[in-house]
Structure 1
């Protein structure tokens, strides 16, 4: 497995293939209940629009880095590092949309993605990285293992992807 920093605009043909795989990972993650800003059912058109529009454009503008874990040409997972912060926070970056394909979970993919994102943040002069995650989420131990600490919790923060209940979120930070 290797983790690459993706540049959608530099290789449109590769990006077309990667965005299809990333869209499927997004759909699968939401179907399995991941609280990553999308609601069930998430259709392929909306998932592709997220990757090919929102993410690709933000990467092209230099607002975020996109990391993709792959093995033998197959996309296993992804994470984003947002470094387009307000003027008073040039030292900070934010982790977003950490996802691993269901078949690739529990194989170190998430850890490799998080380590790549944190290394990039440090290389780019960031001294603080933040994230938020559903309180009690299965990814929380991973975040702790790579150096994040809990800053606090907000109750009733967002709806679960099925729209039935609201969950609290946990804010975490990692000093680099």
Structure 2
């Protein structure tokens, strides 16, 4: 009788393992990563990706419906990783201080000049003359904001250090 109960327990464990492994599945996603660093951008199925194929000049925006070993499938086509020239990561960027600072610095520089001219011309009742110290500060703010915006890499080339690959987590 005790062997029969051990036999039932063994069968129950095996059936449970088969059913549990049938229900679980791998989560598959695509990673755009810079080799040798921690820089990476993750794309899941259902997300929109902006890419430019080799030989084209315009970016295409498509929704990822499936991720294969060496390609991703969109609603209209299958795109091999090797045929992609660049990926636009601007829609994937989070609102960090560096990403938001550029436009705000430009607005602050132009606003400082406008407020100073209004203060001198209207509030103090004098002529709206140009103050060189305010001009210098405004120029530094606008220049810094423009540099921050220009130096951000939004379109990443898939050659050299950057690569695109499929990752499956079980």
The two structures share one fold, judged by TM-score above 0.5: no
**Structure with larger RCO (C-alpha < 8 A, sep 6+):** 2
User: What band does the TM-score fall into relative to the shorter chain?
Assistant: under 0.3
The structure in which a higher percent of residues are strand is: 1
Superposition TM-score, scaled by structure 2 size: 0.22
